[in-house]
Amino acid sequence: MRYLPLTDDDRRAMLARIGAASMDDLFRDVPAEALTGVRFDDLPDHATEMAVERDLAALAARNSPAGAGPCFLGAGAYRHHVPATVDHLIQRGEFLTAYTPYQPEVSQGTLQTLYEFQTQVALITGMEVANASMYDAATGVAEAAAMASRVTRRKRVLVAGGVHPHYADTTASFLRYTDIDVEVLDPDPMGIADLIGRLNEGLACLVVQNPDFFGRLSDLSALAQACHAEGVLLVVAVAEPVSLGLVTPPGAMGADIVVAEGHALGSPLNFGGPGVGLFASRKKFVRHMPGRLAGETVDEDGRRGWVLTLSTREQHIRREKATSNICTNSGLVALAWTIHMTLLGEAGFTRLARLNHMKAVELVGLLETVPGLTVVTPTFFNEVLVRLPGQDAAGIVDALAERGILAGVPLSRFWPTYPELADGLLVCATETTERDDMEALARALTEVLA
């Protein structure tokens, strides 16, 4: 059995062994005011393994899996086809159990995959150097803001209103008890037009997203030039990594640091995780990067090999010199990402991106025929913002969910205190979205809105 609960006799024996009279003695160092005093006597008693499995299966059956019907969910977690080869390879014992490669001579396979991962990240982001991954994009943006403060020696960070709210909230939380001040602008579906006027010499970095949270694509070149004129670093976040197969990469538009969420490649939705953060920057900032980097070298016989080149985390360097307290990277998810990217290849990655955009264009064409619906996003990759004037988008989503259609993500889920966004709905199409799914959504929206 995987679960063996302790009996009362077991507990008494364990307490006697350590000299404690009761369980309460284990918490005697906790201040009384910190204890809740709440008992959990109303929780159900232990059950057999079969009963637990049956109850959990019943709970799981109440969910609507993304693949069970038409699915248009996005907002930072995207459904893509993951080849069976990916799951097969990452479950090999030498990959599944691998951890930090402290001894490079016995960790060449792990180090090589990290090196390949970094190479792929640098290529698609248009940057010069990438690290061996972060936990996810949200913590990656926070680390980028801290890095920008180290580079510029400035203490102010500005987060644009088009950045994913989870990324913005994580950055504010991450830096709350430091001397870095974080300003998060109000949600802005209209893009980056007014950001240049907010730049000044006291700013360490400006954080933007492309495509932004509302699906809008922007040319960041002029913004990057304006940032550099003020000595401000431009941090670009990317929630949908597939877009980098078609859209001009942030590095080519002048970004100084690029952070992306890699979850969409190599991993199923899994309720939104686990993620893997892609992190890349200009080479001149490499010693300020968080985490670690794998590098290529040769051994004493001239044979190609890999090592940890820069490891500026606390496990590898004196604490006062560490650039981050990140304890490890998302190694297994990074490996899945690398395998998926390798299977696609450069041409396949571009074709996948083009297919995603074509699906989105097809979806927009159908949505524009729905009476009472307005497509807001003029330039997009595979996700758009639509407005349902006079309607509660969350209520519409619930109504369509009753019909077996996951219609998208209402903006009110992220910003419940902004009534002007209550009619906003994010709708996404990927290569997994079929024409029949799109037509079903258009029909259902037409009926419900009527």
The CATH number given to whatever domain includes residue 93 is 3.40.640.10
Q: Which of 353, 345, 420, 429 is nearest to 389 (CA)?
A: 420
Task: Determine the Cα–Cα distance for residues 74 and 265; give it in Å rounded to an integer.
Answer: 14
Res 317: pLDDT: 65
Res 316: pLDDT: 64
What does the pLDDT look like over 300-340, one tens digit per residue?
899 999 998 877 665 566 667 777 777 666 888 999 999 99
Three state DSSP letters for 179-219 = CCEEEECCCCCCCCCCCHHHCCCCCCEEEEECCCCCCECCC
What does the pLDDT look like over 107-136, one tens digit per residue?
888 899 999 999 999 999 999 999 999 999
Task: Determine the Cα–Cα distance for residues 9 and 310; give it in Å rounded to an integer.
Answer: 52
Based on the domain organization, do 249 and 363 belong to the same domain? Answer: no
Task: Determine the Cα–Cα distance for residues 413 and 76; give it in Å rounded to an integer.
Answer: 13
CATH classification at residue 382: 3.90.1150.10
Bridge partner residues of 298 (DSSP): 304
The region, left, alpha or beta by phi > 0 then psi within -120 to 50, assigned to residue 254 is left
Res 235: pLDDT: 98
- Domain membership of residue 411 (yes or no) is yes
Number of domains in the chain: 2
Task: Determine the Cα–Cα distance for residues 333 and 234; give it in Å rounded to an integer.
Answer: 27
Based on the domain organization, do 290 and 437 belong to the same domain? Answer: no
Please count the residues of the chain. 450
- Domain membership of residue 134 (yes or no) is yes
Among residues of the chain, what percentage have pLDDT more than 90? 74
Based on the domain organization, do 316 and 396 belong to the same domain? Answer: no
Task: Determine the Cα–Cα distance for residues 381 and 29; give it in Å rounded to an integer.
Answer: 55
Based on the domain organization, do 143 and 237 belong to the same domain? Answer: yes
**Residue pair 90/339 in contact by the 8 Å Cβ criterion:** yes
Collapsing DSSP to helix, strand or coil, 134 comes out as: strand
Based on the domain organization, do 218 and 200 belong to the same domain? Answer: yes
What does the pLDDT look like over 148-195, one tens digit per residue?
999 999 999 999 999 999 999 999 999 999 999 999 999 988 878 789
Based on the domain organization, do 163 and 201 belong to the same domain? Answer: yes
Q: Provide the mean pLDDT of the chain.
A: 92
Cα–chain center distance at 312: 23
Res 1: pLDDT: 43
Based on the domain organization, do 145 and 260 belong to the same domain? Answer: yes
Task: Determine the Cα–Cα distance for residues 376 and 374; give it in Å rounded to an integer.
Answer: 6
**Residue pair 10/16 in contact by the 8 Å Cβ criterion:** no
Based on the domain organization, do 332 and 353 belong to the same domain? Answer: no
- Give, as one character, the DSSP assignment of residue 375: E
Task: Determine the Cα–Cα distance for residues 303 and 300; give it in Å rounded to an integer.
Answer: 7
What is the rounded (10 degree) CA torsion for 219, 215, 345, 352?
A: -120
Number of H helices, E strands in the chain: 11, 13
Based on the domain organization, do 283 and 399 belong to the same domain? Answer: no
What is the rounded (10 degree) CA torsion for 152, 157, 161, 167?
A: 100
Angle at 185 between CA 154 and CA 242, to 5 degrees: 90
pTM of the model: 0.88
Based on the domain organization, do 291 and 159 belong to the same domain? Answer: yes
Q: Which of 368, 363, 373, 381 is nearest to 423 (CA)?
A: 373
Res 328: pLDDT: 64
Domain boundary among 317, 341, 365: 341
Based on the domain organization, do 298 and 394 belong to the same domain? Answer: no
DSSP letters for 274-322: ---EEEEE-GGGGGG-SSEEEEEEE-TTS-EEEEEEEE-BTTTS-GGG-
What does the pLDDT look like over 57-99, one tens digit per residue?
999 998 888 888 999 999 999 999 999 999 999 999 888 877 7
Task: Determine the Cα–Cα distance for residues 178 and 327; give it in Å rounded to an integer.
Answer: 19
What does the pLDDT look like over 211-226, one tens digit per residue?
999 999 999 999 999 9
- Give, as one character, the DSSP assignment of residue 245: G
- Domain membership of residue 262 (yes or no) is yes
- Domain membership of residue 281 (yes or no) is yes
Residue 2: pLDDT over 60: no
**Pairing mode, if any, of strands 205-209 and 156-159?**
parallel
What does the pLDDT look like over 379-401, one tens digit per residue?
999 999 999 999 999 999 999 99
Question: Which of 100-104, 282-286, 426-430 is predicted least confidently?
Answer: 100-104
Q: Which of 163, 203, 218 is nearest to 185 (CA)?
A: 163
* Residue span of the structural domain in which 362 resides: 66-81+346-449
Res 362: pLDDT: 98
